Amino acid sequence: MLGKLRPVGSRVPRPGCSAGVKLSWEDHYRTEFTGSGTEALSIAVAIAMAHRPEVREPEVIIPAYGCPDLISAILAQGAKPVLVDLLPESPCMNDAQVRDVITTETVAVVGVDFLGISERLDVLSQVCRDRNLFLIEDSAQSFPPASSDRPLADLVVLSFGRGKPINLMGGGALLIRREIVDRSLAVLGRYPLSEVVTGLSWKLKRSVFNLLMARLPFFILEKMPFLGIGETRFRKLKTISRLELPEALLSSAIFEFGARPLIHKLYDRELQSIEVFGWKLLGKRKSESTGGDPDTPRLRYAVLAPDKELRDQALRSLNRSGIAASAFYDKTLPHIEGVEEALKEKPFPCADDFASRLMTLPCHEDVKESDISLIANIIRGIAQN
Ligand SMILES: Cc1ncc(COP(=O)(O)O)c(C=O)c1O
């Protein structure tokens, strides 16, 4: 049958079908809605900078493999992104290197949760405490944030964009640890407030958006190069705003998120046999997941192939069979177009290795058991050859 299983993304909820879900972080953090996750991160950087007014050229530490929006958010505040390598075969930052790159100008460390796998916030928060730095948890790809359970981060970023765990077709949130709210109000006040109206045009957009997620429309949309589906691009952050978001909309989204199937558990089971051939299933072992609930849905399922050649072979076979498996960012941040000039060239061997071997598999509510069987058969065939 003609069609293709999309790589990521869940349906936008109907506003107001569920009201009054308690936000799991509410006891520890105040929620400030923003125009996007990038904007939330940029405000987080501004808050960290405001707490260290003596710093002239603020620096923010981020992983060398990740979303280029992290760079945009930092540059928008006039700060400098400082990249750090990953641990071998892991999406987590190398904490020894984090310690090495800290200077008197460092104001914050951003720990990025990866496709539903938490960063090691306990390790990073120790580093930050020792050096009096802010810890920002970027939970754009994970829901709920790990800091819901243990409020280790000073600031937490959420994204409600397309392809994120909570899809409201845009928007984001900044969670501010209650102890620092008063000191952050002046920064928040710099950014204008606008209202999200879920009127007729929003509802129409939602319907069209949800329709386009089906296999046939995705197959057609992917063939249109000008849409740039799946491309990673660096874009400057030009405006930052706060949002008034209807509570019932977020409640509905959280309610629907909680009802999603735990597809990653099926992959864990079906792909377990390829590990003896040097493939690695990420997030399966406890040591990689320090926070959050292992029983919450993942954004995508992440696998490391033994090398780039086998990864690319698996990607080609899966895509030919109607499964939008993806190399995700494919490159480390210094190699993404438009980013280079902003950063010093330095080697990031573990991040480069990770980028060249990573493959992500769909994990959303439309993945069927038959898709998993097909995917597992293809990958097992390549692994055993
Ligand atoms: C880790 C991470 N942080 C921040 C963002 C930016 O979020 P938004 O697209 O809502 O601006 C993204 C977007 O993909 C992301 O993956």
* Whole-number average pLDDT of the chain: 93
Output the residue whose Cα is nearest ligand 1's atom 7: 37
Band (141; pLDDT cuts 50, 70, 90): very high
Tens digit of pLDDT for each residue in 119-136? 999 999 999 999 999 999
Band (286; pLDDT cuts 50, 70, 90): low
What is the position in ligand 1's atom list of the atom closest to the CA of 172?
Answer: 10
Two tokens, residue 241: 């705003």
Band (290; pLDDT cuts 50, 70, 90): very low
177: pLDDT strictly greater than 70: yes
What pLDDT sits at residue 247? 84
How many Å is the Cα radius of gyration of the chain?
A: 20
In this prediction, residues 163-186 reach a mean pLDDT of 97
What pLDDT sits at residue 189? 97
Output the residue whose Cα is nearest ligand 1's atom 8: 37
Distance from the CA of 381 to the center of ligand 1, in angstroms? 34
Specify the pTM.
0.96
Band (339; pLDDT cuts 50, 70, 90): confident
Output the residue whose Cα is nearest ligand 1's atom 14: 67
In this prediction, residues 315-336 reach a mean pLDDT of 96
Band (19; pLDDT cuts 50, 70, 90): low
What angle, rounded to 10 degrees, do the helices at 308-320 and 349-357 form?
Answer: 30
Distance from the CA of 78 to the center of ligand 1, in angstroms? 19
Output the residue whose Cα is nearest ligand 1's atom 16: 67
Give the integer Cα–Cα distance in Å for 319 and 374.
12
Give the integer Cα–Cα distance in Å for 148 and 145.
6
Two tokens, residue 11: 């349906």
Band (341; pLDDT cuts 50, 70, 90): low
What pLDDT sits at residue 1? 66
289: pLDDT strictly greater than 50: no
Output the residue whose Cα is nearest ligand 1's atom 1: 140
214: pLDDT strictly greater than 70: yes
Fold of 29-195: Aspartate Aminotransferase; domain 2 (3.40.640)
Band (344; pLDDT cuts 50, 70, 90): low
Band (17; pLDDT cuts 50, 70, 90): low
In this prediction, residues 305-313 reach a mean pLDDT of 98
- CA distances to 62, 163, 314 from 299, in Å: 21, 8, 20
Distance from the CA of 102 to the center of ligand 1, in angstroms? 24
- What residues are in contact with ligand 1 under a 6 Å CB criterion? 36-38, 41, 66-67, 69-70, 112, 138, 140-141, 159, 161, 172
What pLDDT sits at residue 91? 97
Identical fold at 29-195 and 259-384? no
Distance from the CA of 300 to the center of ligand 1, in angstroms? 14
**Domain boundaries along the sequence of the chain:** 29-195, 259-384
Q: Name the E strands within 29-168.
A: 29-34, 59-63, 80-84, 106-112, 134-138, 155-159
Band (228; pLDDT cuts 50, 70, 90): confident
The CATH number that domain 259-384 falls under is 3.90.1150.10
Distance from the CA of 136 to the center of ligand 1, in angstroms? 14
Percent residues over pLDDT 90 in the chain: 85
Output the residue whose Cα is nearest ligand 1's atom 2: 140
Residue 59 pairs in a beta bridge with 80, 106
Give the integer Cα–Cα distance in Å for 289 and 270.
20
What pLDDT sits at residue 340? 67
Distance from the CA of 157 to the center of ligand 1, in angstroms? 9
Distance from the CA of 68 to the center of ligand 1, in angstroms? 8
Give the integer Cα–Cα distance in Å for 146 and 50.
25
- CA distances to 71, 114, 275, 355 from 308, in Å: 26, 20, 16, 9
Ranking 16-25, 35-44, 74-83, 214-223 by mean pLDDT, the lowest is 16-25
Give the integer Cα–Cα distance in Å for 136 and 158.
11
